[in-house]
Structure formats: structure tokens, C-alpha cells
Amino acid sequence: MLAAPPARAADAERWHGAAFEGDRASLARLAAVGAKVVRVYRQSDAWVLDAAQRLGLKVVMGLWVEHPRHGFDYADASAVQAQEAALLDFVARHRTHPALLAWGVGNEVETGVADPLPLWREIDRLAGLVKRLDPAHPTLMVVADTGMDAFRTLAGCCPHVDLLGINVYAGAVFDLPQRLRTAGITKPVVIAELGPLGQWQAGRKPWGVPVELTSTEKARFFTEALAFLEDQPQIRGAFPFLWGAKQEQTATWHGLLLADGSATAMTDALAAAWGRPQPAPAPAIRGIGIGADTFAPGAEIGAGVDALAHDGGPLTTEWAVFAEATDLRKGGDAETPPARVDVRLLHADAATVRFLAPVTPGAYRLFITVRDRAGKAATANLPFLVR
């Protein structure tokens, strides 16, 4: 069993921030709601270091380690050496940056691999080389939360890794401290991605598509999870996923912001957890509904949303039909967004919509975006089938 490493200056405070993919404007919004740390994934995100320094943020700088599922062969010595050389060159160039907090060596490199231990040992070897080159900043390796067998393996595999990062979703976060103790993991842990119910965990419609939570339900999860984690001494910090917008199953499943940068109830929940409760929170969705799950081509469809502005003011609602996503990938790999479908609109207001079903049989989603007078947004969607 590994003992916890001695505390470092960089480790002295809890890490409050988010996993980030976005632009300079969205990074500024992250700082404005009280974040102190931002986690990025790869060397191409190096611009974040300078931007974060101007905003008073620290950075967990990701060092991308290639994945076997993307075709990288760890039996190819020349490829492994080239990856190592590029990684260490990057560390050498950025190790003295004042915004640097820690090095994140790899992210879920084990996805799709039957035996992850050889990969984790390679990441540990790389982490040791990083530590030799830059002893001033701790190393973090990031894995998926795949169960107790993996945790028991991690308890003893990686002595050059100072902190263990785990990507955790939904209710699994609430028993994580106990699972860490049972597995014998004693080093500090960072929730490198924290998210509500993932598409791989969610309930499904009879035709197999997952059901997404509303933005209000997601915000409730973040409020409860961040409060819980704050009281767990082994958990150094948590990075809600994702400060930005991302197509993954849907355009709204994991993004804390909308594609246009609009704030949501999720961003409000994070701000409150970081000590900056928002005086004008986003609209709340109290319920959604659609007339049926299945419709004939061209049939009339009715749907509705029960939403409320924080001040009781007026709301506007955008209703949009999209084909169900088919370019579904593992581990957060980039997905092609599905096409928006033109439908004949019969009626639409802030609470209800009536339209004609697409004439082409298939799986679709009705996306609902509710906005208040300030432009803050609430989101939901309703899957339906045409056959």
C-alpha cells in the first residue's frame, strides 16, 4: 500500500474549479464565478496558462498520453520514445510558468483495454520523468471509475504519481471515499471530472436511446455532490465537467454552458459552491412532457415545459427537433452533431408546442431551451420515435 506523499505548497488548498474546453471569454466567466483552478487536457491548451495568470487562476496542465484505442502501439519503441520526448520538451518549456499548479499525465488511457496495468505503469514512468525535470509541481494521473478491481490495482501501481485523478459520474461520487478506503488507496484524490448521470448510466427508451436530465436536475446534483466532497479529507478537489459546450450524445448532456456561452443552473450551482451565489439564477424546469413516445409520420405532436423565472418574470422558449445522434464514441472522443430537422410548426409559446412529426421514420429529440430576460438558460429534451 502506498503512503500519501508529503504535502507541497501547491497542494495546500482545495482545488475549486472545472474541467475546461473553451475560449478566452468562457475562461473569464469561469474565473468570475469563483473558480480558482482550471483543468485542461492536452498540450494544445497551453494558451490557458497565460490567460489563467491574468485571471488569477491556477492550471492543472494536461499532458496528453496517446490511447491504444486510437491506434497507438505501446510495443513500438520508437513511437513510445517520440511521445516521451515531446512530452518532456513541453514540460521543460512550461515548468516555470507562474499559473502552473500540477501536471495531469494522461486521461483515461486505459479505455477499451482489457488489462490496464501496463498502461498505468507507463504513465507512472512518464510521471517519474516529469517529476525529475520539474520537482516543484505534483503529478496527477487520471483514470475512469471502472470498479473495485481497478482501484485495488491502482493502490500499489504508481509511486511516481502524487495524486490520483478519477472521473466520476452520478451517485458513484457519494460512496467514492469508502471505496477508496476499501481498495487501500491512501494518496490524495482529485475528482478530475465530476458529472451527473452519464449517457452510459441513464435510463433508456424502448428503442434504446438514453434519457437526459434537465438542467435543473443536473444543477441539483452538483450542489449536493460538491457539498459532500468538501467534507472528505482525502479528496483534494473536484472539476465539474465540462466548462464549455460539447457534443456527446446530445449537444447539452455534459456542457455546463450552452454553445453561445449562456449561463445555466449548473453554472449557478458551481458559483454558489465556490462562495459566489448568483443573485439572478437561471430559470428552473419543474416538468416536461410529450404526448407519446411513438408517432406515425406526419402525425401531430404536442409537448410542454413547466418552467419558472427566479423573479416570476416572462420566459421565452426555443423548440427544436434534431435527429438522434448516431456518431457515438467512447471516452469523450469527438462526435459529429446530428442534423436539425425542419418540421411544420402549428403552435409555439413559452410553455407549449405543437408540430407535425417528421415524415421519415426514425429516432428524434425535441430540444427545449428556456431563457429569462437576462438570457440565462434552462435546457431539457424529449426523445421520440417516428414509425
Query: Tens-digit pLDDT profile for the chain (387 aa)?
Result: 334 443 333 344 899 999 999 999 999 999 999 999 999 999 999 999 999 999 999 999 999 999 999 999 999 999 999 999 999 999 999 999 999 999 999 999 999 999 999 999 999 999 999 999 999 999 999 999 999 999 999 998 999 999 999 999 999 999 999 999 999 999 999 999 999 999 999 999 999 999 999 999 999 999 999 999 999 999 999 999 999 999 999 999 999 999 999 999 999 999 999 999 999 999 999 999 999 999 999 999 999 999 999 999 999 999 999 999 999 988 888 899 999 999 999 999 999 999 999 999 999 999 999 999 999 999 999 999 999
Average model confidence (pLDDT) for the chain?
95
Handedness of CA 23, 24, 28, 34 (dihedral sign): positive
Cα of 140 vs its chain's centroid, Å:
17
Inter-CA distances, 217 with 106, 140, 221, 310, Å: 31, 30, 6, 16
Which amino acid, residue 205? K
Any idea which residue has 491506434 for its cell?
71
The rounded distance, in Å, linking the Cα atoms of 40 and 22 is: 10
Distance, CA of 154 to CA of 173 (rounded, Å): 18
pLDDT tens string 64-121? 999 999 999 999 999 999 999 999 999 999 999 999 999 999 999 999 999 999 999 9
pLDDT in tens, 241-287: 999 999 999 999 999 999 999 999 999 999 999 999 999 999 999 99
On the 0-12 / 13-18 / 19+ scale of CB atoms within 10 A, 381 is buried
Check if the beta carbon of residue 101 is closer than 8 Å to that of residue 134: no
Q: Which of 39, 35, 33 is nearest to 60 (CA)?
A: 39
User: What is the Cα–Cα distance from 146 to 114, expressed in whole angstroms?
Assistant: 12
- Are 347 and 267 in contact, with CB atoms under 8 Å apart? no
d(CA 207, CA 204): 8
- Compute the residue count for the chain: 387
Q: Residue 102: count other Cβ atoms within 10 Å of its Cβ.
A: 24
**Residue 189, Cβ neighbours under 10 Å: how many?**
23
CA distance 160 to 178: 24
Does residue 104 sit in helix, strand or coil? strand
Q: Order the strands of the 362-371 sheet from edge to edge.
A: 294-295, 377-386, 362-371, 316-323
56: cell is: 488569477
The DSSP element (H or E) to which 86 belongs, if any, is: helix 77-94
Phi, psi at 67, each rounded to 5°:
-105, 135
Q: Omega before 242 cis (within 30°)? A: yes
- Rounded CA-CA distance 168/187 in Å is 17
Structural domains in the chain, CATH included, are 9-273 (3.20.20.80), 284-386 (2.60.40.10)
Yes or no: say if 180 and 148 are a contact pair by the CB < 8 Å rule.
Answer: no
Tell me the helices (H) and strands (E) count for the chain, helix number first. 8, 16
